[in-house]
Amino acid sequence: MTTATKPEISLVGKVALVTGGGGGIGRAAALSLAAAGADVAIIEIVPERCDEMVALIEAMGRKALAITANVMDRDAVIAAVDQTAAHFGKLDILVNNAGGVTWRPFAQLQPKNWQRHIDMNLISNLAATSAAIPHMIEAGGGSIIAVTSIEASRAAPGYAVYAACKAGINNLTRSLAVELSEHGIRANAIAPDSTRTPGMSGVFDGSADPARWPVPSPERQETIRRRIPLGRQGIAEECGDLIAFLASPLASYITGAIIPIDGGTWASGGWIRDRDGQWVLPPDIPAAG
Ligand SMILES: NC(=O)c1ccc[n+]([C@@H]2O[C@H](COP(=O)([O-])OP(=O)(O)OC[C@H]3O[C@@H](n4cnc5c(N)ncnc54)[C@H](O)[C@@H]3O)[C@@H](O)[C@H]2O)c1
């Protein structure tokens, strides 16, 4: 007879680093990893958010390190990874979360705009990953988790360079999963759609406390209800918990996966609810027949 035990996410004894870990999905990831037992470092550009995160993680009984840096400075990213490993004695988990986007049609972008998107969304990830791999090999294995986007897998008008970077990270993830398998390092990505975060709410400085974020207008909420099958935006904690799961032994056979966390938007492939709640292809074309 087997004794059934409830599986739980346990990261006791592990060391994690989260880029952009002071707000939104990065903050939620850092807190979920700490809740599962990991000691956690973050790289974060807003100093106040660094202080908040150290206090929150230490209040959970874990060790914390917050490095105030801009992930668009690749040398600073590499130094932060090495600082984390030196501070805690190792590095097991890297969450490449930091990223961002500005809406503008591609034809209006200048090379400096492409470069900014690429530095923020792609080079930051390459720099952190490249610096983390030797530490993970030394630790005997590890887990690399990227936060990409639903926009990596569909057209994203007005966000073309961002989408190209995120698509690049999806395929970087697959390539790394294969290349690093012999070292026991897993590489996965999560692909959110619209998720409630300070950035999505237009809050870019000061505390990342959700109490500061404006509530979406009723019109915006109605649009969300019609567009997303589960009828709401995602919550950053849902992404954080998925990241902690992927980092944990419960995901020991998952590598090279790009996991949508989008309330069903990717699956819906353009179908939306009409005002009566029926599924239609816009603009309100009847389904079939
Ligand atoms: N929120 C969404 O709807 C959504 C959807 C799809 C993908 N994503 C992706 O999720 C990731 C996180 O997004 P979010 O919405 O949580 O962002 P956010 O702006 O709410 O939070 C990002 C955190 O990173 C910090 N940060 C910003 N620029 C930085 C820099 N240059 N260097 C260091 N730290 C920096 C911010 O201060 C903030 O604390 C991004 O890669 C984003 O592309 C988000």
- Distance from residue 196's CA to the centre of ligand 1 (Å): 11
Contacts 24+ apart (CB under 8 A), 198-205: 198/23, 198/24, 199/23, 199/24, 199/100, 200/24, 200/233, 203/23, 204/46, 205/46, 205/48
CATH value at residue 122: 3.40.50.720
The set of catalytic residues is 162
* Domain span holding position 44: 15-280
Q: Are 92 and 143 in contact (CB under 8 A)?
A: yes
- Distance from residue 85's CA to the centre of ligand 1 (Å): 23
In this structure, is residue 204 part of a structural domain?
Answer: yes
- Distance from residue 278's CA to the centre of ligand 1 (Å): 34
Tens-of-pLDDT digits for all 289 residues of the chain?
456 777 899 999 999 999 999 999 999 999 999 999 999 999 999 999 999 999 999 999 999 999 999 999 999 999 999 999 999 999 999 999 999 999 999 999 999 999 999 999 999 999 999 999 999 999 999 999 999 999 999 999 999 999 999 999 999 999 999 999 999 999 999 999 999 999 999 999 999 988 889 988 999 999 999 999 999 999 999 999 999 999 999 999 999 999 999 999 999 999 999 989 999 998 765 555 4
Atom of ligand 1 nearest to the CA of 46: 37
pTM: 0.96
In this structure, is residue 110 part of a structural domain?
Answer: yes
Q: Are 104 and 157 in contact (CB under 8 A)?
A: no
What distance in Å separates the CA atoms of residue 37 and residue 9, rounded to the nearest whole number?
9
| Pocket around ligand 1 at a 6 A CB cut-off | 20, 22-26, 43-46, 49, 70-72, 97-100, 147, 149, 192, 194-195, 197-200, 208
Atom of ligand 1 nearest to the CA of 71: 32
In this structure, is residue 22 part of a structural domain?
Answer: yes
Residue 135, helix vs strand vs coil: helix
In this structure, is residue 1 part of a structural domain?
Answer: no
In this structure, is residue 10 part of a structural domain?
Answer: no
How many domains is the chain built from?
1
Atom of ligand 1 nearest to the CA of 70: 32
Pocket probe mutation, ligand 1, options 151, 197, 203, 227, max atoms within 8 Å of Cβ? 197
- Distance from residue 95's CA to the centre of ligand 1 (Å): 12
Give me the half-sphere count of Cα atoms (radius 13 Å) on the Cβ side of residue 198.
Answer: 21
In this structure, is residue 35 part of a structural domain?
Answer: yes
In this structure, is residue 287 part of a structural domain?
Answer: no
